Structures are given as structure tokens and as C-alpha cells.
Amino acid sequence: MNPAPKKIRAVLFDMDGTLVDSEATHFRAMQDLLDEQELTLPPGFDEACTGMTIGAVHERLVDQCGMTMELPVFVERKNGRFIARLAELRRRHGASEALAVLAKAGVPHAIVSNSERPVMDASLAALGLIEPGGVTVSRNEVEHGKPAPDPYLRAAALLGVAPGDCAVVEDSAPGAAAGLAAGMLTIGWPEPHRDDIVFPPGAQVLAATEQGGELAELLRSLV
């Protein structure tokens, strides 16, 4: 008889594109800023930046678009334009069902993002995803953002759960790489329109659908 599969003691969710349908809003906020600078993005720029830190996106804008704005100014202005668009945000289909599975099983979760803390807090508050005592980790709390493992390792430590007892849910390749580097079971859950994403070897990739029930079903089997 095969042994029963190991149960997960905590689930760590990415935010943008995973729990929150926000990637298009981030792009529009960046486009607002670029329009003011009369700069044009090359084809596929937005898709290539999925899951990156804002610092990495800025580097690409400098290299590929000729942006001269310094990083701190770019971060402040881009984040301000994003927060002005908070009304556009929605929970991703399937996110609430996945969170309900964990709540019913008494399994804690954390939200781990490459976004800056002001953007993270504003996004979660807008969608009712902030819980008393809940654990969230932004880019500001770690030395290295994803694809480094730092954000996920910090979240596991804050929950008091060993990395090997955690599962990570990610919509991007850099985020999945971070989960794998942290030694965690890593689930790739791409947005429905992102069949271009190639997750790193070792990630368990779900076929995304608008219904999103496949994530809740998988988590139910793990907890």
C-alpha cells in the first residue's frame, strides 16, 4: 500500500494575478506614466514583466524604452497611479473558493508579493483580503524579491511553519522559481489568457479556467 501523501500545514499565495486580478491595472498605471513621458513600450513588454519586481521593470524601461526617470521617482508615481485605479480590481475567479477550503480545514495562509507595501496594503484592503493577525510579505520586507526565495521563507517563518510543510500558489514563472528555491511544493496557476507562461521544472501546473475550481480541489486534497 502506498503511503498517504504528506499534508500541507500552510499555503502561501502570490497576490497580483493569483488572488487579485490586477495585472492589467498595473499595466494601465504604468502606461499612464509612460504616456506623460511620450515613451512607447515594445511589443510583449507587459507579458515579459509578469511577476517581476518594480525595480526590475524599471531596468527594462530604461534599457528598452529610454526612460530617464530615476527609480524612486518612478516607483512613487507609478504606485500612485495604480492606487488611483483601485476600483478596477477584482478577486480572481477561484481565489475565494481556495481561501474557503483553507479556512474550513483550519490551515493558515499568507500573502506574498513582489509589490511595494503601499500597493499591497491598498489592494488587499480594497478587496477585503486583510484579516486580523494575517501574514503578508511585500517586497519592502526582504533583501531580495522573487525569484529569490526570501519572501516565501519570511512568510513561512512568520507563520511558524517549516518551508517543507508549505505550498506556494503562483501565476508567474519568477514567483514559482521563488517557491521552488524555498523548498516548497509549488503550484503554477496561470491566468486564463496566459498560456505563454513556462513554469520552471518541479512546479505542479494547473490548467487555468475562468471557473478556477481546480485550485480549490487541489488544495482540498493537500490539507
Judged by DSSP in three states, 71 sits in helix
Judged by DSSP in three states, 42 sits in coil
Among the CATH numbers 3.90.1200.10, 3.40.50.1000, 1.10.1200.10, 3.40.640.10, which is that of 10-21+89-222?
3.40.50.1000
CB 92 within 8 A of CB 211: no
pLDDT in tens, 152-166: 999 999 999 999 999
CB 179 within 8 A of CB 197: no
Query: Grid coordinates in use for 197?
Result: 507562461
pLDDT in tens, 38-68: 887 777 777 777 767 778 888 888 888 888 8
Nearest C-alpha neighbor of 170 from the set 156, 188, 149, 191? 188
Task: Please report, in tens digits, the pLDDT of each residue of the chain (223 residues total).
Answer: 344 457 899 999 999 999 999 888 988 888 888 888 888 777 777 777 776 777 888 888 888 888 888 989 888 998 999 999 999 999 999 999 999 999 999 999 999 999 999 999 999 999 999 988 999 999 999 999 999 999 999 999 999 999 999 999 999 999 999 999 999 999 999 988 888 889 999 999 998 666 668 899 999 999 9
Give the chain's radius of gyration (CA, Å).
Answer: 17
The answer to whether 10-21+89-222 and 24-87 have equal CATH topology is no
The domains of the chain are located at 10-21+89-222, 24-87
CATH topology of domain 24-87: DNA polymerase; domain 1 (1.10.150)
